Chain A
Amino acid sequence: MKKYSLLATGLLLLSHSLAAPLALAAEVDVDALIQEAERASYYSGNDGRSDARMMIVDNQGRKQLRQFTILRRDVSDNGDQQMMVFFSRPSDVKDTVFRVEKHVDVSVDDDRWLYLPALDLVKRISAGDKRTSFVGSHFYYEDVSGRAISEDTFVLQSDEADAYVLKATPKAPDTVEFTYYVVRINKTTKLPMEINFFKANGDNYRRVEAIKIEDIQGHPTVVRSKVSDLQTGGYTLMEFRNITYDLGLDDDVFSERSLRNPPQQWLN
C-alpha cells in the first residue's frame, strides 16, 4: 500500500513539474517572491542583534571556533543596511570588528572597514570581491551580509508542496565563481532553506542550508545554518543565540567610533 502511495506521489510530482514552468510563471510572481525571501532572511525588524557561534570543520575533521556578535540596522526594507560584527573568540582576536555599509544599488560598492585591536589599526577593505572567505570559514562575506537579489536573474524551476525552487543566473558571470545556483524557498516562512551552487559542468560544489528555524518576535529566523564545501568535505556550522529585533539601535552604534569603542550595552 505504502509503495503505491509513494509511486502515486511520484507520478503526481512528475506530471506537476513537467506541466509546471509555463503555467506557474503566470501564477507565481517571482520578483515578489525573491523580494519577500530577501526580507525574511536579512531584514527582519528594523534592526537586530544576535550572538553567533561558528564551528569551522575542515576536511580532516579539525575544528575551529569563532564567536562574534552581529548588530544590524536597516536603512530601508530591501534597501541599504548597516552592520557591525564584534569578535569575542578566540580570545586572540577578541575585539576585532567589521563594519559594513551595504548598498543594494549594484553600481555602488559596499563600504567595509576593519579594526584590529592588537595592531591598533582601522583599515578600509576595498570592495574587490565579496565572495571571499569570512574569517576562514566556509561562509563568504556575501553570505553574511546578503547577496543583493538584483545581481541575479531568477527563474522558477518548480513549485513543490512546501517550497518554490528557483534557479538564479548571475548577471555578471565573471565576478562570481558559480555558473548558477538553485534555491529552495519555504512557502510559509519565505526563508531560503537550501541553496546549491553549480559550476558550468553541472558540478554541485557548494551548499548553504538553513538547519533550524525559530520564531523570534514573530519573525521566522534561521538559528542554525551550515555551509558545505562539497568538493573537500569541509563545512562550517553557524548558530545564533540571544536574537532580538527592534532594539532601537541608533546611528552611533554603526559609526567609525564604535570600531575602537564597542557599544558594550548591546554586546552582552
Chain B
Amino acid sequence: MKHITDNLVIFCTQKPKTVYVILAIIALFFCAQIPRIQIDTDPENMLDAAHPARVFHNDIKTRFAMHDAIVVGVVNNTDEAGVFTPETLTDIYDITASILSIDGVIATDLMSISTVDNITQSQPGTIRFEWMMPKPPQDAATSAQIQRNLARLPLLQDTLASQNGKAAAIYVPIKDKNESYNIAEQIRAKINQLDGTSDWYITGLPVAEDQFGYEMFIQMGIAAPLAGLTIFVLLFLFFRNIPLIIAPMIVAMSTVLITMGALIGLGYTVHIMSSMIAIFLMPIAVVDSVHILSEFSDRHKPGESLNDTIEEVIGHLFTPMLYTSITSSVGFYSLMLTPIPPVQVFGAFVGTGIILAFVITITFMPAYLSRMTDASLDKLQAVMHSQHGGSRIAQLAKGLGSVALRFKGLLVFGFAAVFAVSVWGISQIQINDNPVRWFKPDHEIRVADTVLNANFAGTYDAYIVLSAADSLMPLAELLNADRPESLNIWAQQQISQLASQPRNEQYQTLIINIEDALFSDVNPAEEVYFNTLLSTTENALSQSKAFQSPALLSYIEQLQAHLQASGLVGKSNSLTDVTKVVNRELRSGNDADYQIPESPQAVAQTLLQYQSSHRPDDLWHFVTPDFQQTLIWLQLASGDNQDMSQVIELVNEYVTQHPLPQNIDLNWAGKAYINVIWQENMVAGMLDSLMSAFVIVFIMMVLLFRSLVFGVLAMLPLTITITFIYGLIGIIGKDYDMPIAVLSALTLGLSVDFAIHFLERIREVYKQTQDLQATFTAMFDEPATAITRNALVIALGFTPLLFAPLVPYITVGIFLASIMAISALVTLLILPAVMTMARGIVFKPNEGVGHEKI
C-alpha cells in the first residue's frame, strides 16, 4: 500500500499537468450531464414505485377517480353573509367558468358551488334535481338559499362551503401534475381581475410540489455556492494565502460537479435529498486538503525539496485520511439500508463523493503544491509562523485543554449525567412529519393551508377502502350445471370470448348472450337450461354487489360516527351518506328519513336516482360499478403523520371491537396514509442504518488502532454527541422528521473523524514522550488547533443552509453544524479526561505506539 501511495505521489508531483488535464476532462464530461437535470418533488417517491402501499394507493386513485387537485379557496370575513353574497357568488361562478375552460383541467370532476347538483323536494311528493347555482344570484335571498341548500347536503357542506358561511372552495382536478404551476398561474391571473372584498387562496398538493421544486432550485443555486464562499472565507482566515486555498476549492468544486453529473447522467432525479448533495460534499471534500495544507505549511522549510516535503506529508496523512474518508462514507452508505429511494440515492452518491474527494485530494493536492512558486511558499511560512500558538483558534484549543485536564472528574461525571438524561430524552421523541410544514410558516402555501383548514373539514385526504371478496364463481363452473350436450360449443365460445373481462362483466355479457340465444331456435331442453342459467346468473350478479347491502352500509355509518366522535377526523364521506341523502329526498325530505333503505334493491334504486343527476359519475368516487369495493373519504384538518397514525389506530381498535363483516377487507390509501407509511419505513430503516454504521465504524476503529480500548475511545465522543442531540430533540419536543432521521447515521461517520485524528496523534506523541502530562500539553498545541479548525470548516460550511427557503434544509443546517461543533468539543474534553482516569488500561508501557501502516 505504502509503495503504491509513494509512486502515486511521485507521479503527481512530477507530472502535475497530466493530473490537471485528467481531472479537467473528467469534470467536464460529468458537467455536461448536468443540463439533463430532472427535478422530482413528489413526496410519494419516498416510497419505492413498487411498494405495495403505493401501488394500492395509485390503483385506488385511478379506480375511484380521486385526482390530484388544486384547491382554490375564497374567504370573506368582512361581510355579514360571508361568501354568500351576490358579489362573491358571482365571482365564484365566473372563476369556475374560466377554470373549466383551462386546458388540463378535468372538467367533469371539478367541484364548485356552480358545478354541483342540488337534490331537493320542490314540493311534497316531488323530487327535483338541479344545478346548485345555475347562474349568479341577483339578490341576498337567493344567495342565502344557496347556503341553506348546501347545508342540507352533508357531502358538500364543510367541503365546498364552510359551516360559518365565511368560506367556499373550488376543487380543480388536473390531468398532469406537471401542469399545476401553469394552471395555478392562469387561475391567479383570473383572480387578480376580480375587484371584490374577498380573499382568495390557492393551495393543494400539486401546487405545493411545484413550488417545492422551484425552492429546491433556489437552494441549489444559492445555498450551495454560499457554502462554497463561506468555506473560502474560512480558509482564507486560516491560511491568508489565496493561491494556496484555491487548491481545496478546486477539490471541492470538482467533487461536487462530478458527483452531481454522475447522478444526473445515470438518470436519477434530483429529489429534496439529492438537492443537498452539493452542500454536504463541499465541506467534507475540503477537510482532507485542510489537513494536508496544515501539515505542509508546518513541515516545509525554505530551501528544502518541495516534492520531498509533499511526499512526506501525504505518506504521513494517507492512512488517517483514508480511514476518515471511509468512515464518513460508511455513515452515508448506511443510508442505503433505509428503504426510501431518495435517501438511498443520497447516501450512495455522497458516500461515493467522499471517496472521490479523497482520490482527488491525494492526486491533485500534490500536483498543485508541487507547482507553487517560492514567493507563495514564503508568504505562507510567514503567516503560519507568525500565527503559530497565537491565533484565537490555538488559544481556544489550549483553553479547552486546561479545562479537560483540570476538571476531568467533573467532566466525566457531567457527561455521564448528560448521557443518562439524553437516553431518557430519546424515549420521549415524537415521530412526526408533515410535508406542508417543509414550507416556512409565512409561505403562501402554509398560509393558504392554515386558512383553508381553519374553515373547512380538512384538505388532507385519507381513504379507507373496504373490499368484498368476489363471490362470483368462474364462468366454466357456472355454465357446467346440467348443460345439454348440444350447447357445449356455445358454452366454450362464451368462456373464450369473455375470458379477458372482469367476472362481473362476464356475467353481464352472458345475460345478453343468453337472451340472444333464447331468441334464436332452441329446443325445449336448451330453453330450460337457458332460463335456469339466466336466473342463476342474475341472482349471482345481484348478490355479488356487496355494497348495496344495508348491513354493510350501516357498518360504514357506525365506523364514520365513531371517527367523527373522536374529533380526529374533520369529516368523512361515503356511499352511506350518498344513499341517505337521496333516500331522505325521495321520501319526506325530513331528517327522520336520513336513513339507509331497508333492502339491497332499495339501495340500488335509490342510487339509480343519484345517478340521474348532472354528475352521474360522482357515485363512482365512492363505490366501484360492480359494488365490490367502496371508499370512505376522510378529510383531516392536519397533515401531521402523528394525527394520521392516531386515526389508523382508532380504526384498528374499532375493527377489533366490531369485527368486519365476513369476506370484507379493510385497507388504506390516500396521501396522508402514504406519508405515514414512508415515515414508518424511514424510522425503522434509520435504526438499521444507525446500528450498522455504528458497528462498522467501531470495527474499523478497532482495526485502525489495533486495540479494542482505542476503538471504544474513538466511539465515545460521537456516541455522547448523537445521544445528546437526539435526547435534546425528545426533551424540547421537536418532531423527529425526515431531515432529523437522515442525520443520525451520517453524522456518526463524520464526527468520528475528530476522534481518529486526536487518538492517532496522542499515540504518536506518547510514543515520543512516554509521559502523560507532556503528551496532553503537546496535544493541545498544534493537533487540537487542527481539529478545531476542521470542526469550524465543517460546521460553518453547513450554515448557509440556514438561509434556505425550505424548512428541512434549515433543520439539516442547524443540526449538522451543532453536531459537528459539539462532537469536536466533546472529543477534546472527554477523551483526555477518560484517558487520564483510565490510564492503566489505555497507556500500557510501549504499547499504543501507533499501528502499522496499512
Residues of A within 8 A of B (CB): 53, 58, 60, 62-65, 89-94, 96, 114, 116-119, 121, 123-126, 128-129, 131-137, 141, 174, 199, 201, 229, 231-232, 234, 241
Contact = CB atoms under 8 A, between A and B. Distances in A.
Nearest to A127: B128
A144 B615 CA distance: 18
Interface string B493-510: 000000001100100110
Contacts, number: 130
A64 B512 CA distance: 12
Given A92-B604, A119-B606, A174-B134, A64 B126 contact: no
A136 B619 contact: yes
Chain B CB within 10 Å, residue with most, of A64, A131, A241: A64
Interface string B591-620: 000000101111111101101111111011
A137 B616 CA distance: 8
A128 B508 contact: no
A124 B128 CA distance: 9
Contact of B130 (A124, A128, A234): A128
B624 interface: yes
A116 B126 contact: no
Contacts of A229: 108
A36 B548 CA distance: 45
B505 A123 contact: no
Contacts of B624: 62
B152 interface: no
B267 interface: no
Nearest to A175: B134
A90 B607 CA distance: 13
Contact of B125 (A58, A124, A133, A199): A124
B211 interface: no
A133 B601 contact: no
A190 to B, nearest CB: 30
Contact of A90 (B125, B542, B599, B612): B542
Given A65-B508, A132-B612, A132-B614, A93 B601 contact: yes
Contacts of B583: 119
A96 B608 contact: yes
A132 B613 contact: yes
A221 to B, nearest CB: 18
B512 A58 contact: no
Interface in B114-140: 117, 122-123, 125-131, 134-135
B601 A118 contact: yes
B625 interface: yes
A53 B428 CA distance: 65
B611 A133 contact: yes
Contacts of A53: 512
A116 B605 contact: yes
14 contacts: A53-B512, A60-B63, A62-B625, A63-B625, A65-B511, A89-B538, A124-B126, A124-B127, A125-B128, A126-B123, A128-B122, A131-B614, A135-B608, A137-B616
A201 B611 contact: no
B605 A96 contact: yes
Contact of B586 (A94, A116, A231, A241): A116
Contacts of B125: 123-124
B145 to A, nearest CB: 15
Chain A CB within 10 Å, residue with most, of B542, B548, B600: B542
Interface in B91-149: 101, 107-108, 117, 122-123, 125-131, 134-135
Contacts of A131: 614
B587 interface: yes
B54 interface: no
A118 B605 contact: yes
Contacts of A128: 122, 128-130
B178 interface: no
B604 A136 contact: no
B541 interface: yes
Contacts of B619: 136
Given A92-B545, A133-B611, A137-B616, A64 B508 contact: yes
Given A123-B125, A128-B122, 5 more contacts: A63-B501, A94-B601, A118-B602, A119-B605, A241-B519
Contact of A126 (B122, B131, B519, B601): B122
A44 to B, nearest CB: 22
B539 interface: yes
Contacts of A90: 538, 541-542, 604
A119 B542 CA distance: 17
Contacts of B667: none
A192 B611 CA distance: 27
A123 B588 CA distance: 11
A231 B108 contact: yes
B614 A129 contact: yes
B135 to A, nearest CB: 6
B127 A92 contact: no
Contact of A93 (B101, B604, B616): B604
B427 interface: no
Given A126-B128, A129-B130, A91 B63 contact: no
B604 A118 contact: yes
B62 interface: yes
Given A116-B606, A135-B612, A129 B129 contact: yes
Contact of B126 (A60, A123, A132): A123
B608 A93 contact: yes
A134 B606 contact: no
Contacts of B605: 92-93, 96, 116-119
Contact of A91 (B127, B130, B539, B609): B539
Contact of A201 (B101, B123, B541): B101
B608 A65 contact: no
A217 to B, nearest CB: 19
Chain A CB within 10 Å, residue with most, of B539, B586, B615, B619: B586
A125 B597 contact: no
Contacts of B608: 93, 96, 135-136
Contacts of A119: 583, 586-587, 597, 602, 605-606
Given A58-B617, A92-B600, A128-B128, A65 B63 contact: no
B609 A114 contact: yes
Contacts of A58: 617, 620, 625
Nearest to B611: A136
A136 B620 CA distance: 11
A228 to B, nearest CB: 13
Interface in B161-220: none
Given A116-B586, A123-B586, A136-B611, A63 B508 contact: yes
A121 B586 contact: yes
Contacts of A62: 502, 505, 624-626
A133 B117 CA distance: 12
Nearest to B583: A119
A136 to B, nearest CB: 3
B2 to A, nearest CB: 68
A135 B613 CA distance: 8
Contacts of B620: 58
Contacts of A121: 586-587
A215 B122 CA distance: 43
B600 to A, nearest CB: 6
A91 B538 contact: yes
Contact of A123 (B107, B127, B130, B519): B127
Nearest to A242: B519
Nearest to B109: A232
A257 B849 CA distance: 110
A117 B128 contact: no
Contacts of B131: 129
Interface string B526-552: 000000000000110110010010000
A125 B602 contact: no
B89 to A, nearest CB: 16
A116 B602 contact: yes
Contacts of A137: 616
A92 B601 contact: yes
A91 B542 CA distance: 7
